[in-house]
Amino acid sequence: MEPNLEQVRRELTDIHEELLALPTDDFARRSELKERQNELRQLSHKLLEGEPLHNAETLRAAFNRLQEVRDRLLEKRLSTGVATSIGDAGIDADFTSVVNKAIEAGIGIDEIEARMKEILEQLRSSS
């Protein structure tokens, strides 16, 4: 039996939380989770086909939730305060930038921001 949209979303949330808690060197598990996450996203899109667009209030709530998640994830990056002390230790700002980009890629910031952009487009088209 195929799961319903709520079950798919719940599993996506569980996967996201597990990815956040996963040690950075557990590449095999991370790969499994990312693969399942992609499968669930495709299933989610299929389940949404033909359904009416969400109302503006639901879209705003989803956007706000994603914004909070994104902000929480961005806190994991090296801050400029840390970069200053790292610079004092002989590590330059370019290296800090590279580390921050790797952190963002590893935690899926691009995916979250892409979904936020989709929601904004839906809000614009529904108004």
pLDDT one-digit tens code per residue, 19-37: 888 888 899 999 999 999 9
How large is the average pLDDT for residues 43-49? 78
Q: State whether the Cα torsion 44-102-66-113 is positive or negative.
A: negative
What does the pLDDT read at residue 120? Answer: 86
CA distance 87 to 83: 6
